[in-house]
Amino acid sequence: MESNLFSRRLCVPSALLLLLAACQSAAQQGWKAWERGEYNAALQAWQPLAEEGDAQSQFLVGLIHDEGRGTAKDPATAREWYERAANQGHAAAQTNLGLLILAKSDDATARAEAECWFELGAAQGFAPAQCNLGVLRYGRAEAEAEREEALDLLRLAANAGDSKARTILTSLNGAPEADRNGDTSETARWNRIAAAQGDNEAQTALAVQHLTGDGAIQSDEAALRWVVPAAEAGLAKAQFVLGWMYRHGRGVERDDALAAQWLERACEQDNAGAQAELALMHFKGTGVARDDVRAGDLLGRAAAQGLAYAQKNLGQAYLRGQGVPQSDVDAARWLGLAARQGLAGAQVQLGAMHERGRGVERDLKQALLWYSLAAEGGSQDGAVRRDALAPQLSEAQRAAVADSVREWQARHEARTIAQGGVQPAR
């Protein structure tokens, strides 16, 4: 498991703040300064207490140096203060010390030292320590029993409210097993737990699962119930999903004007899905004024973020010269990017451009490759074009293309294309 799965957001635990509020006035003054963003004043209040041996203040002084609050980041000084607090049994300091060690080195010695600190924090029931210990152990697990022990630590942390643990468990996708909510994946169960506690990301993820029926009962009404609070809270992805639902009449009466409003709000936060969807509305003048130039600009922004169907639509816009200058070369470039992400429609169009020599050098082998990949992806058009073109190539050329198809599929299956949100076929 990659080291970037460890939580590096070093925040002050809420329980610690409650304890701090009950401490002497200097500590209270330090926290008030922290809340105002006056970190130097906070340091001045906590430093004397830390030097007197107060573990909480030692942790907070370490945190200031670790995060560079009001001062340059100083990992060495942060480690010194974390160690003082950790040696007094301070769970948050033990956890952050482990993270600091791993940030400096990820070799076996560093991992062993970090694990010791995580174990001490986890033994106190500190969820971030349980999460990080689970990550370490899952990463080195070889036997199924070892993996289950690591997963148990992650589940403990997730049940205690640790969002990183929930995210990791969601990504690992437990074995399907229906429950009383109709959830058929561990992903949906963890999303539901977090969503019920007001986690906007989880609410949106659960809404998408209900929309698609992927891991949860397909229910547009349930999707709407979960996505609305996240959208109203300002989460761009949720605003995109809600706009998409209004645009397509999913769970609500179709309302293009409301769809445009929600998509616009998501676009203001540079959400690629919303940009691509609103671009199509501007091309058609649906719910908004027709504006090809705005549509081209939105598609360009979405495509630049790697959204495959935006890249495909931008390539088509260049072919037509709609909203952007007509350019076969640019069309081939954007269609190529979408095709390499596995979008069958783009693969068919790129194949046609290679077959005709439009925007690219004429290359029948490349054309057959893209038609074949599209056909393997379920495109009937791709299959028809493949079968029509294949007789024009020699047996050796067809065999070479078949090998290339297998190699491409193997590479493609090895990576996960994460574009986020609802991505309707175009």
- Give the residue extent of every domain in the chain: 3-172, 179-233, 237-413
Structure tokens at 311: 């890249």
Give tens-digit pLDDT for 25-68.
Answer: 677 888 888 888 888 998 998 899 999 999 999 999 999 999 88
List the one residue out of 137, 56, 116, 61 whose CA is nearest residue 92.
Answer: 56
* Identical fold between 3-172 and 237-413: yes
Percent of the chain with pLDDT over 90: 59
Domain 3-172 belongs in CATH node 1.25.40.10? yes
| Count of Cβ atoms closer than 10 Å to residue 390 Cβ | 15
Q: Which residues contact 394 (CB under 8 A, 6 or more apart)?
A: none
| 237-413 CATH fold | 1.25.40
Give tens-digit pLDDT for 172-191.
Answer: 654 333 344 555 566 777 77
Report the run of H or E that residue 341 belongs to, with start and end.
Answer: none
Q: How far is Cα 3 from Cα 262, in angstroms, rounded to an integer?
A: 36
Residue 19 pLDDT > 50, yes or no? no
Q: Kindly indicate the confidence band of residue 220, based on its pLDDT and cuts at 50, 70 and 90.
A: very high
Q: Which residues contact 333 (CB under 8 A, 6 or more apart)?
A: 315
Helix, strand or coil, per DSSP, at residue 211? helix
Taking CB atoms within 8 Å and a gap of at least 24, the contacts of 394-402 are: 397/364, 397/365, 397/368, 398/368, 400/365, 401/365, 401/368, 401/369, 401/372, 402/372
Q: How far is Cα 159 from Cα 190, in angstroms, rounded to an integer?
A: 9
Q: Whole-model pTM above 0.85?
A: no
List the one residue out of 357, 391, 355, 394 whose CA is nearest residue 371.
Answer: 355
Q: Kindly indicate the confidence band of residue 420, based on its pLDDT and cuts at 50, 70 and 90.
A: very low
Residue 72 pLDDT > 90, yes or no? no
Q: Which residues contact 28 (CB under 8 A, 6 or more apart)?
A: 20, 21
Q: How far is Cα 188 from Cα 150, in angstroms, rounded to an integer?
A: 20
